[in-house]
Structure 1
Amino acid sequence: MKTTTAGQAPAPARHRASLAVLGTYLGLAAALLILIVLFSCLSSHFWSYSTFSTIANQIPDLMVLAVGMTFVLIIGGIDLSVGSVLALAASALSVAILSWGWGPLPAGLLGLACAALAGTVTGSITVAWRIPSFIVSLGVLEMARGAAYQLTGSRTAYIGDAYAWLADPLLWGISPAFLIALAVTVLAQLVLTRSVFGRQLIGIGTNEEAVRLAGIDPRPSKVLVFTVMGLLAGVAALFQLSRLEAADPNAGAGLELQVIAAVVIGGTSLMGGRGSVVSTFFGVLIISVLAAGLAQVGANEPTKRIITGAVIVIAVVLDTYRTRRARGRG
């Protein structure tokens, strides 16, 4: 009789799971390749190193936000406040530099702290009162945006090149911001797949009551996930400031939709319990290549919105189909 180590799935089950993950990666890579080939045929300027390096240098903020949202969705939550929290972090940072005379480092830490605090507020209220995070984050969205307007006087605050080094291209035209975002992605994938904390998050999203009955309190982990989401929104604010050299209280408006779209396209379940940071990275690339390609072929803003929305709907339908098929097998 075959035996398995306690806490591990039988070898055939692990093999099937590995094949499913590999299939997801290959499917996303194929979709990305199809987009690249399509836009290369439609535009003579798309297939160039300049295009790809520009995309890489413009996506670090979306990358880190999508990493955080992957963890939030895995535990069965959602955070709609990330764009506003980004603006709040940038606004607090700008006040520290322009009004208080702080240096880039302490001002940056203040921005990160404000963003992490906003995430902690969302997570704490969601967990303490068992309110859907959708509703709580919607309230935090409004509060954070209002605070950003208050801090900046509803005006764009120009801070200069204090963080320009994050956007300045290094070797092969790639910015430090992209390398940092890539490191965050790798670290998050290792945490999700190789740590006890990562397995707890998947367990919480799959069956929170079972986790509780196993003697594990899921509440601290859930609050921590929202705190990390807020912190990564602060990191995204630094990445945006490095490119724009200004704190705009309107920054990040609607960004939460792009973030959620990238994560869902990557295959993370809206129902919780399933997700991959690597798949999310593919989702970010697909969204970014789609946007860049549509811009190069001359698509107007309404057309871009229609196509992007259609891609999101297709991703959600596929997620629902995968979930139902998995339940049918169970």
Structure 2
Amino acid sequence: MSTSTKSPTSSQLGTYLGLSAVLIGMVVLFGNLSEYFFSADTFVAIANEIPALLVMAVGMTFVLIIAGIDLSVGSVLALSAAATANAILLWHWSVLPAAALGLLVGLACGAITGSIAVVWRLPSFIVSLGMLEAVRGGAYVATDSRTQYVGDAISGLAAPWVGGVSSAFFIAVALVVVGQLVLTKTVFGRYVVGIGTNEEAMRLAGINPSPIRIAVFAATGLLAGFAGLMQSARLEAADPNAGTGIELQVIAAVVIGGTSLMGGRGSVVNTFFGVLIIAVLEAGLAQVGVSDPSKRIITGCVIVVAVIIDTLRQRRAARAH
């Protein structure tokens, strides 16, 4: 079974150090290219930008480890936020029940994606692609294709807490810790890695992978719903276009963090580094004046390079065995 379920090995420590070196190198590079980058304001802004991305990346790490993929998380973010906004604005619910509704919507979307993929034995790529469109359409219907302004009803998540950094950031970091502990210290985490490594061996061992797979997708949907709350709190609004394309950033962050697209290997802590690398890259490119299309080209190239590195790592590991 993968070493990701054991105590950190020298290889894992090497990965941590490698990702840290890349992150520090990027900070130094952009600090030299822009006189405004290396400042407290920049780092606070990055910290306040990443909570939604980080929360979804935690769930996506588990999805990729079971050799699946979920392209619908951005749409689920938007629909969950829309459900919460409707509950507050139209039905006059208080904040906690409205937020719970948004989380339940995310959970349901993830459970539906996982159930269809598992029961019908369909590629999760295709199922989640269909859900991406269907759920996005639901967000437009729920909001009448207009941004719903909820004001400061749920702005507490985005309120400055320590040094101008929002509570959402600290909650997201706490979820990273919880996710890593679940992955490395629980039976569920071992089953997740085992399914991604060799699903047939898990079946022969008497373990049914189906409910575990569905649970992983459901949890990812729940986290996407929570990301929707974070996004709404920061914008004080529910935008039906929110999260468009963010699924690519989420997958990029997880892959950059070293989680294998082939399944069986991953780390939530490494995903955190991947999110930071993506965030610093985008902030740095913006400060040095790179256009949005050029930023997308560079980000796409980073994803391709990360996938190539992962493929080479897999081949090297296969030859070693």
Give the TM-score of the pair, scaled to structure 1. 0.95
Give the equivalent residue in structure 1 for 2:188: 197
Give the equivalent residue in structure 2 for 1:109: 100
Give 1:142 deviation, angstroms: 1.0
Render the CA deviation track for 1:287-326: whole Å, top value 9, x for unaligned: 0000000001111111111111111111010000000101
Render the CA deviation track for 1:117-164: whole Å, top value 9, x for unaligned: 000000011111110100110111111011111111111110111111
Give the equivalent residue in structure 1 for 2:83: 92
**Residue identity in the other structure for 2:79:** L
| From 213, 225, 228, the counterpart of 1:234 | 225
**Following the alignment from structure 1 to structure 2, what is the Cα–Cα distance between the partners of residues 147 and 235?**
17
Whether 1:261 aligns to 2:236 is: no
Whether 1:276 aligns to 2:267 is: yes
**Following the alignment from structure 1 to structure 2, what is the Cα–Cα distance between the partners of residues 162 and 218?**
41
Give the equivalent residue in structure 2 for 1:326: 317
**Following the alignment from structure 1 to structure 2, what is the Cα–Cα distance between the partners of residues 311 and 129?**
34
Instruction: Give the count of matched residue pairs.
Output: 319
Give the equivalent residue in structure 2 for 1:316: 307
| From 155, 163, 166, the counterpart of 1:175 | 166
Give the equivalent residue in structure 1 for 2:11: 20
- Percent identical across equivalent pairs? 64
**Following the alignment from structure 1 to structure 2, what is the Cα–Cα distance between the partners of residues 8 and 190?**
15
**Pairing of 1:24-35 with structure 2 (within 5 A):** 24-35=15-26
Give 1:95 deviation, angstroms: 1.0
Which has the higher Rg, Structure 1 or Structure 2? 1
Give the equivalent residue in structure 1 for 2:237: 246
Give 1:23 deviation, angstroms: 0.7
Whether 1:207 aligns to 2:207 is: no
Give 1:8 deviation, angstroms: 11
Q: Secondary structure at the match of 1:170?
A: strand
Q: Is the 8 A contact 2:256 2:274 kept in 1?
A: yes
**Residue identity in the other structure for 1:240:** Q
| From 131, 144, 150, the counterpart of 2:122 | 131
Give the equivalent residue in structure 2 for 1:145: 136
**Following the alignment from structure 1 to structure 2, what is the Cα–Cα distance between the partners of residues 304 and 76?**
28
Whether 1:217 aligns to 2:208 is: yes
Give 1:113 deviation, angstroms: 0.3
Q: Secondary structure at the match of 1:253?
A: coil
Render the CA deviation track for 1:96-117: whole Å, top value 9, x for unaligned: 1111111111110001001100
Gaps of 5+ in 2: none
Q: Is the 8 A contact 2:34 2:288 kept in 1?
A: yes
Render the CA deviation track for 1:237-295: whole Å, top value 9, x for unaligned: 01101110111111110010000000000000000000000000000000000000000
**Following the alignment from structure 1 to structure 2, what is the Cα–Cα distance between the partners of residues 112 and 170?**
23
**Following the alignment from structure 1 to structure 2, what is the Cα–Cα distance between the partners of residues 38 and 8?**
35
Q: Secondary structure at the match of 1:131?
A: coil
Whether 1:304 aligns to 2:295 is: yes
Give the TM-score of the pair, scaled to structure 2. 0.97
Give 1:64 deviation, angstroms: 0.5
Q: Secondary structure at the match of 2:290?
A: coil
| From 275, 281, 293, the counterpart of 2:284 | 293
**Following the alignment from structure 1 to structure 2, what is the Cα–Cα distance between the partners of residues 94 and 52?**
30
Give 1:84 deviation, angstroms: 0.4
